[in-house]
Amino acid sequence: MKKKSNGCLFLTIFLIYLIILVVAINVQGQVILTGDYVKNYDGDTFTFMYQAPSDDQHVEYEEKLIKVRLYNVDTYEMRDSENRELACEAKDLTAKELMRGKVMIELLYKDSYSRWVAKVYPEGRRERLGELLKRKGLTTGKYENKRLERITIKRYTKYHRKY
């Protein structure tokens, strides 16, 4: 009998530990959204659409659009005539990857242009989109192995709710 109660005690302690771990992870403020790709401007910036609870009592959910910038990645600018081919290739790869299906993004902070800087995971990939662009040689190398300075940290306001 005592061996069974020790097993139950161990299981109970393990479950309490697991619950505390899950709560601790959520307290860190990690915000993950799943939604759809709308369009992209270049290889590192795109528009993202997701469903959010509505403030209107007659509508349960409403579509929200946000601009997203890939975390720790800088691709060549479309207006840069010297690297236009690389810029187009990065833009096309980003569009192709994001059109695969649902997109999961981990919001980090807003940049000086009010875009959400995020880690982006296309459907069916374990690798972040930014890492794929780096591996294919389509980035400028500007942010690689460096932390981006957090110019403006704005966690969710009344317009963006944490899920």
* pLDDT tens digits for range 72-87: 999 999 888 888 999 9
User: Sorting pLDDT into bands at 50, 70 and 90, what band is 141?
Assistant: confident
Say if residue 22's pLDDT is above 70. Answer: no
How many angstroms separate the Cα of 17 from the Cα of each of 9, 28, 30?
12, 17, 20
**Residue 87 CA from chain centroid, whole number:** 22
Which whole number is the average pLDDT over 147-160?
Answer: 40
| Domain 31-135 belongs in CATH node 3.50.50.60 | no
Query: Which range scores top for mean pLDDT: 24-33, 111-120, 138-147?
Result: 111-120
β-bridge pairing 103-110 and 45-53: unpaired
This prediction has a pTM of 0.69
Say if residue 162's pLDDT is above 70. Answer: no
CA distance 14 to 134: 40
Amino acid at 140: T
Domain-by-domain residue ranges, the chain?
31-135
